[in-house]
Structures are given as structure tokens and as C-alpha cells.
């Protein structure tokens, strides 16, 4: 009375999975290459070989090496957890957030050199898009640290302060750890004291 039924299983492929996998492999390979040298000169062929993908795949995902480096820094920034100690003074909360973003580069001179130089480049829409997303993440962190009711001018000033500090570190005028310490002092001069 029972009939045997045959089930046909169709494998559903996620068209974005392969794209995301290649993207991750390229960024992972770029991170490795940058960590191996303080002043890297990474080429597309070298990156493709390390990522084990075709050079055309690298170029399909990233129009330039600057775009790779900018995206790599963006990945590092967005991976940071965002925790704010609301019992701490506002200036301390802000300094903690800015220091966390700055210290990503402290022990990674290759990433520091490549990503900061990339972010300063102009004319590459992919870099501009990554820079805008990094700026939005920095703004989000500052907004969370400042809390509601913060003056927009204070937020703008803190953003400018942060990007200027990164530029100084890129020029090797100051290292990233010393810059993170100075950020705390600069923030205390900008952020109004808590009302008790």
C-alpha cells in the first residue's frame, strides 16, 4: 500500500557567499602581508597569490590597492566592540573610544602605514566610500560616548581632532601609543566637564 517516493533535492546556492568568501580571503591575505613588513609594497599579483585567487578576482573586488588597505582598516574599526561606561566622566568615555580606534594601528606598522596613506589618497571612489564608513563609525562611537544632548560643534571638533591625530601619527611625528595618550588630554580641553 505504500508507494516509494523519490525526493529530489535541489542545492540552493547563495550567489553572495562566494563573493563574501573571496572578499574575506583577499582582506585576510592583505593583513598577513602587511603584518610581515613595516613598510610594505604589496602588489596585486602578490596579494592574489597569497589569497589563492585570480588577479581578476582581486581587481573585481577592489579597484586599487588603496581600496584594499582602506577596507582592511574599516574592517578593523567595525570589529571593535562598542562599550561605554556611563558612570565614567564624559571626557574619559570619549578618550576611551578614540584611543581604541587609534590603537588598532599601534602594534601593526604595516597596516598603519598602508591604511593611513590609503585613507589620505584622493580620486578613488572605493577609498572615499571606506573613508566615509570609517568616519561614520568614529562618529557613532563619539555620539555614544558623549550621550544625548551633546553639542554638534563638540562632536565635529572631536572628529577633526581625531583625524588630525591620525595624520600626525602617519607622518611619524608621534607614535600611535603616545598619540592615544595625548588624545585624552586634548579631549579634556574640548569636552565640557560633567555637571555635578
Q: What is the pLDDT of residues 15-44, one digit of tens each?
A: 666 667 889 999 999 999 999 876 678 999
- The backbone torsions φ and ψ at residue 15, rounded to the nearest 5 degrees and listed phi first, read -65, -20
Least confident stretch, 26-35, 87-96, 129-138, 180-189 = 180-189
Q: Topology of 15-64 in CATH?
A: Arc Repressor Mutant, subunit A (1.10.10)
- In this prediction, residue 173 carries a pLDDT of 78
Residue 171 has pLDDT above 60, yes or no: yes
Here the cell at position 82 is 562598542
Q: Which residues contact 4 (CB under 8 A, 6 or more apart)?
A: none
Cα–Cα distance measured from residue 105 to residue 152, given in angstroms and rounded to the nearest whole number? 28
Residue 11 banded pLDDT, cuts 50, 70, 90: low
Residue 64 has pLDDT above 90, yes or no: yes
Cα–Cα distance measured from residue 15 to residue 84, given in angstroms and rounded to the nearest whole number? 38
Q: Are 23 and 75 in contact (CB under 8 A)?
A: no
Residue 158 banded pLDDT, cuts 50, 70, 90: very high
Model pTM score: 0.82
Residue 8 banded pLDDT, cuts 50, 70, 90: low
Residue 49 has pLDDT above 90, yes or no: yes
Which sequence spans correspond to the domains of the chain? Answer: 15-64, 72-190
- In this prediction, residue 13 carries a pLDDT of 63
Residue 174 banded pLDDT, cuts 50, 70, 90: confident
Amino acid at each position: 500500500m505504500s508507494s516509494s517516493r523519490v525526493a529530489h533535492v535541489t542545492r540552493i546556492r547563495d550567489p553572495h557567499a562566494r563573493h563574501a568568501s573571496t572578499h574575506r580571503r583577499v582582506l585576510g591575505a592583505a593583513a598577513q602581508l602587511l603584518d610581515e613588513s613595516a613598510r610594505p609594497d604589496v602588489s596585486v599579483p602578490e596579494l592574489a597569490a597569497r589569497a589563492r585567487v585570480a588577479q581578476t578576482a582581486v581587481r573585481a573586488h577592489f579597484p586599487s590597492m588603496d581600496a584594499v588597505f582602506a577596507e582592511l582598516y574599516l574592517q578593523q574599526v567595525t570589529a571593535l566592540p562598542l562599550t561605554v561606561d556611563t558612570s565614567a566622566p564624559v571626557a574619559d568615555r570619549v578618550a576611551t573610544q578614540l584611543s581604541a580606534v587609534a590603537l588598532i594601528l599601534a602594534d601593526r606598522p604595516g597596516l598603519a602605514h598602508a591604511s593611513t596613506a590609503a585613507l589620505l589618497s584622493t580620486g578613488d571612489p572605493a577609498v572615499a566610500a571606506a573613508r566615509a564608513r570609517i568616519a561614520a563609525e568614529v562618529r557613532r562611537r563619539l555620539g555614544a560616548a558623549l550621550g544625548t544632548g551633546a553639542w554638534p560643534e563638540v562632536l565635529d571638533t572631536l572628529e577633526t581632532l581625531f583625524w588630525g591625530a591620525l595624520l600626525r601619527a602617519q607622518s611619524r611625528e608621534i607614535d600611535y601609543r603616545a598619540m592615544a595618550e595625548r588624545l585624552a588630554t586634548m579631549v579634556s580641553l574640548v569636552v565640557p566637564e560633567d555637571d555635578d
